[in-house]
């Protein structure tokens, strides 16, 4: 069976930088609290006229350029997002239109912060089964639109951004070596926007109670993340018949530095080898792992043949990890 992997990657973050000091003016918080509890120093917020599809489109253009393929060679677009432009229309269709592509299939994947891993997993299978040759996988978010700027428990954590990967056949033995994905379904308000869906459509009461914004039980998410990040990374490594020492780097979902520190201790893998950029972007959900990869590539931190793991966790609760041998 031919190997499948990432052939080109691109990312985009909005220009507007919002520092912890800026947020001190909005809610009762402090730079010190945010930095010491999360590691976040600043994040990007999309401009008023920028939606998730705009960020995703900009990342996609760069990914296609880096993959050095003709845009017409893209056979399918998958967008991982928790902040679609519209509730009913796939954001992937909006990006298809912006890219000037027509007819190719498009759909969104809803797996919250694990979305990029889930979408890569789907793309991997669809290429292995020869349904498509090149699939554009995009993780894009405008979390600033669903963050409650009156709730200090959540609004300091999130940022906006996008990353895109062209997934296709790569040199034999390179690319995706193993995948492990899972979920622990819950409906106890650990991490969701309570209203605006089919269960509780928005009305005056939900708006008044600010139930149209993201609510999170931070401690529950923290416990879950500290448990699953090491577990699912090791599962993916086992499947690839590799040990953690075979990895040159791990790209975790960028939610909280303390989660990454705990994972580093649990799997005995040095913290310096976990790529961390949450200090600059906060938690960009489905975009975070791709943005981290894109930055590391720009800095020359990943070389052809490096073994890396991408590991995500998030709402659902979902989790997943992919081990790959970098293909270019």
Catalytic residue set: 113, 253, 283
Contact 312, 283 (CB under 8 A): no
C-alpha 229/C-alpha 232 separation (Å) is 6
Residues 114-173 that bind ligand ACO (CB under 6 A): 152-153, 156-157
Residue 31 within binding range of ligand ACO, rule CB under 6 A: no
Write down the least CB distance from residue 19 to ligand ACO, Å.
14
Residue 287 within binding range of ligand ACO, rule CB under 6 A: no
Q: Which of 222, 248, 266, 279 binds ligand ACO (CB under 6 A)?
A: 222
Residue 215 within binding range of ligand ACO, rule CB under 6 A: no
Residue 321 within binding range of ligand ACO, rule CB under 6 A: no
Helix, strand or coil, per DSSP, at residue 36: helix
Tokens of 213: 């914004």
How would DSSP label each residue in 235-259?
HHHHHTT--GGG-SEEEE--S-HHH
Residue 29 within binding range of ligand ACO, rule CB under 6 A: yes
Helix (H) or strand (E) holding 142: strand 134-142
Write down the least CB distance from residue 312 to ligand ACO, Å.
8
CB-based burial, 101-131: b 16+ in 10 Å, e otherwise: beebbbebbebbbbbbbbbbbbbbebbeeee
Residues 248-267 that bind ligand ACO (CB under 6 A): 253, 255-256
Residue 219 within binding range of ligand ACO, rule CB under 6 A: yes
Contact 146, 193 (CB under 8 A): yes
Tokens of 204: 């005056």
Q: Which of 112, 123, 167, 310 binds ligand ACO (CB under 6 A)?
A: 112
Q: Which of 94, 111, 113, 234 binds ligand ACO (CB under 6 A)?
A: 113
Residue 218 within binding range of ligand ACO, rule CB under 6 A: yes
Residue 38 within binding range of ligand ACO, rule CB under 6 A: yes
Per-position x/- string for 172-211, each x denoting binding to ligand ACO as judged by CB under 6 A, each - no binding: -------------------x--------------------
Contact 50, 200 (CB under 8 A): no
């Amino acid at each position: 069976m031919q190997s499948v992997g990432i052939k080109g990657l691109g990312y985009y973050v909005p220009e507007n930088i919002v520092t912890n000091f800026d947020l001190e003016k909005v809610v009762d918080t402090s730079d010190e609290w945010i930095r010491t509890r999360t590691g976040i120093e600043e994040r990007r917020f999309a401009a008023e006229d920028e939606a998730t599809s705009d960020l995703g489109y900009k990342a996609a253009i760069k990914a296609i350029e880096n993959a050095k393929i003709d845009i017409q060679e893209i056979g399918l677009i998958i967008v991982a997002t928790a902040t679609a432009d519209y509730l009913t229309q796939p954001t992937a269709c909006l990006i298809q239109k912006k890219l000037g592509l027509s007819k190719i299939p498009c759909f969104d994947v809803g797996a919250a912060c694990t979305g990029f891993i889930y979408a890569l997993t789907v793309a991997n299978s669809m290429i292995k089964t020869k349904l498509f040759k090149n699939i554009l996988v995009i993780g894009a978010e405008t979390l600033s639109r669903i963050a409650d700027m009156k709730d200090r428990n959540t609004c300091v954590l999130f940022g906006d951004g996008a990353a895109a990967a062209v997934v296709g056949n790569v040199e034999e033995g390179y690319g995706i070596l193993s995948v492990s994905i899972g979920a622990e379904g819950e409906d106890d308000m650990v991490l969701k926007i309570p209203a605006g869906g089919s269960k509780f459509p928005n009305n005056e009461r939900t708006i008044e109670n600010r139930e149209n914004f993201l609510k999170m039980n931070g401690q529950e998410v923290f416990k879950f993340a500290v448990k699953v990040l090491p577990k699912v990374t090791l599962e993916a490594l086992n499947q690839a018949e590799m040990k953690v020492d075979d990895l040159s780097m791990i790209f975790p979902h960028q939610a909280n530095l303390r989660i990454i520190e705990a994972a580093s201790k649990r799997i005995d893998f040095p913290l310096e080898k976990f790529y961390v950029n949450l200090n600059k972007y906060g938690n960009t959900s489905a975009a975070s792992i791709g943005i981290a990869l894109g930055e590391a590539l720009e800095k020359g931190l990943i070389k052809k043949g490096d073994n890396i793991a991408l590991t995500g966790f998030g709402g659902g609760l979902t989790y997943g990890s992919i081990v790959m041998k970098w293909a270019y």
